[in-house]
Structure 1
Amino acid sequence: MNQKEKFFSRQSAPERSARMVENICGCKWSLTVYKLLAHQINRPGEMVRKVEGLSTKVLNECLRRNIEYGIIERTAFNEVPPRVEYRLTPFGEKFIHILAELEKLQAEMGPP
């Protein structure tokens, strides 16, 4: 009885990155926040004013989640009144590029 050589082993999804994509894309505000940052709207108060339906609480949760994954970074300025700004990290720029590619794939698939 001949056993055939196995060339490939079972492949599973990369756990950390798959979980990150699920959590970020599962948040309905993350993509909106990325658009705001792309348009140089990087202060939380301005973000809330520019997007109808976005509350400060939900924005803070979204920003915190993105900071945990290293997509966005927070800069606090030592001023009175306090000033905080957010921006994409280099990793975040790569992540946004991947999301843009997913949007292209969605467009190719056409309407459901």
Structure 2
Amino acid sequence: MSQYEKTCLIRGDGGRAVRGILDRIGDKWTLLVVATLHGERMRFTELLRRIPGISQRMLTLTLRRLERDGLVGRTVFAEVPPRVEYELTPMGSTLIEPAVTLAQWAVEHNPDIERSHDAYDSRER
């Protein structure tokens, strides 16, 4: 696909689809939840334990959004007390590769971005 075709694809609906998805996956917790669930089924408390700094409320909201988007599946077991497990759906699993690519890009380019910030900030003073 040419660069022009890629640009047209992104702009196809005025960027609405891209903005919507980036708003969802670009929040503070979504990619951490997705990465934590990669290849595993987990109970809520296990997720909460494995994601440092996330509150119960934010984990609940993030899981609900991901379930609504079709990226996470939720299974309720008829036990006392009830047991609930979460896992990535097949579509959710397709997010892993681009997320890892983005993370690698961020780690690789972060020093350059920090230098640019420093240079910009020193010019603006």
Shift of 1:38: 2.6
Give TM-score, length-normalised by structure 1. Answer: 0.75
Give TM-score, length-normalised by structure 2. Answer: 0.69
**Residue 23 of structure 1 aligns with which residue?**
24
Any unmatched runs of 5+ in structure 2? Answer: 114-125
**In 2: Cα distance, 1:110 partner to 1:43 partner:** 34
What amino acid does structure 2 have at the position aligned with 1:76? V
**In 1: Cα distance, 2:96 partner to 2:78 partner:** 30
**Residue 71 of structure 1 aligns with which residue?**
71
Shift of 1:39: 6.4
- Structure in which a larger fraction of residues adopt helix: 2
- For the aligned residue pairs, the C-alpha RMSD in angstroms reads 2.3
**Residue 95 of structure 1 aligns with which residue?**
95
> Matched residue of 1:79: which SS?
coil
CA contact (8 A) 1:71 1:89 kept: yes
CA contact (8 A) 1:24 1:66 kept: no
Identity of aligned residues (%): 34
What amino acid does structure 1 have at the position aligned with 2:105? L
CA contact (8 A) 2:41 2:87 kept: no
CA contact (8 A) 2:44 2:84 kept: yes
**Residue 37 of structure 1 aligns with which residue?**
37
What amino acid does structure 2 have at the position aligned with 1:70? G
**In 1: Cα distance, 2:87 partner to 2:41 partner:** 9
Residues 49 and 103 (structure 1 numbering): CA distance in 2 closer, same or farther, change over 3 Å? closer
> Matched residue of 2:52: which SS?
coil
Shift of 1:110: 4.7
